[in-house]
Structures are given as C-alpha cells and as structure tokens.
Amino acid sequence: MGTNGVLKLRADDVIEKAKHEYEKKLAPITELMDSLFQKKEDLEEVKKLVPISTWYRSIRYKTEKS
C-alpha cells in the first residue's frame, strides 16, 4: 500500500468522527424544525390567518424572480 493509501485510512477515522459529531449537533435542530413544521399542515387554517394580499404579493414576487 502506498503513502496515499495510508493517509486515506487515517483520514477515514477523522472523517467518520466529524460526521458523527455533526449529526449529533444537528439532531436537536432537526427535531425542533420537525415540531414546528408539520408535514401534513392544514393550509385552510393558514389561509384564515394570513391575509389574501400577502399570498398574492408572495406569489407575484416569486413569479417576478423566476
């Protein structure tokens, strides 16, 4: 095995450790976001809370930007 192979083997452990630490730090944030934004939201309920002019401006803005 050449030098590159040895370096790759050493780097794999560091990469896996960093990946595990990142996922551990990300887990609470993911849980919070999942609790805030339900996958099956009732858009009719949101429609009651947000004025129609806001929806219109939002759609118009997205259309102009695209």
The pTM (predicted TM-score) of the whole model is 0.44
Region 33-38 average pLDDT: 76
Region 10-26 average pLDDT: 91
Q: What are phi and psi of 56, to 5 degrees?
A: -60, -50
Q: What integer pLDDT is reported at residue 31 of this predicted model?
A: 87
Kindly list the domain boundaries of the chain, sorted by start residue: 3-65
Q: Which residues contact 47 (CB under 8 A, 6 or more apart)?
A: 55
Give the span between the Cα atoms of 19 and 57, in whole angstroms.
41
